[in-house]
Amino acid sequence: MKAYLAAAVQMTSVPNLEKNLAQAEELIDLAVRQGAELVTLPENFSFLGDEAAKVAQADTICQASEAFLKTMARRYQVTLLGGGYPVPAKEGKVLNTALLVSPDGEELMRYEKVHLFDVNLPDGNTYCESSIVLSGHRLPDVYPAKDLGILGMSVCYDVRFPELYRHLSQMGAEVLVVPAAFTAFTGKDHWQVLLQARAIENTCYVIAPAQTGFHNARRQSHGHALIVDPWGVVLADAGTEPGIAIAEITPSRIAQVRRQMPSLTHRVFI
């Protein structure tokens, strides 16, 4: 692993595939021009705002999303992660899938979101992800990227389940990626502190690309794509407008924190 720049992209995706992919390409281009070698896109980067339409167009969205990720990775010669696009599954539902792609356009790792967001929020919004999404049934893997460190993958609501990240750290993860479309209501209180907790307890970098703003008349995302270091320090925050958070991932910082706070070696219950 070497020191390198990583980017967490922040988007306002809408129920328009072509518009979203054009926005994503602009932000990938921006990240690469600033020197990023690992670029991460948020959950629902290719389509967000109308769940019924997403399911109806799932095959088209899936094919376009995967082709886009592979094309962009090759074009810009970066490792690219697309967080959370629909892959058609049984029972007329989809799998919320994140994909990691190499600069050669080859698939490195995929993860099907396990924890589904079924909640009734005090602001009056109800979310029932399980109505259209099937839960994945496997814990995520890690990928040992030669120059970028050992990468661990998750998606959005997963961040509330620390056992998933402890699994990744036990497998050697050094960089945890959390692509998300966190709601505005929950995000204002929980988003940053949850990401900092996952970084601190696993002494890992956390890269969290995010959705922001209104996606339709009711759905609003929190924004604040973040990059957090292994001590819990926020290195970059994209704020509330579309853009990028970019920061250096440094192996010496991981080693330093793990010397100072060797909590991973002190685990009693494995």
Catalytic, 156? Answer yes
Q: How far apart are CA 243 and CA 28, in angstroms?
A: 10
Catalytic, 62? Answer no
- Give every CB contact of residue 63 below 8 A, 6+ residues apart in sequence: none
Q: How far apart are CA 142 and CA 150, in angstroms?
A: 6
Among candidate residues 37, 51, 62, 156, the one labeled active-site is 156
CA–CA–CA angle 233, 237, 238 (5° rounding): 170
Among candidate residues 43, 51, 112, 174, the one labeled active-site is 43
Q: How far apart are CA 51 and CA 125, in angstroms?
A: 14
In the structure encoding, which two tokens stand for residue 245, read together? 């958070």
Place of tokens 């050697």: 172
In the structure encoding, which two tokens stand for residue 38, read together? 């690992």
Contact 139/114 with Cβ under 8 angstroms?
A: yes
Three-class SS of 186-210: HHHHHHHHHHHHHHHHHCCEEEECE
Catalytic, 128? Answer no
Q: How many residues does the chain have?
A: 270
Neighbours of 2 (CB within 10 A): 11
Among candidate residues 51, 54, 66, 113, the one labeled active-site is 113
**Catalytic residue list:** 43, 113, 156
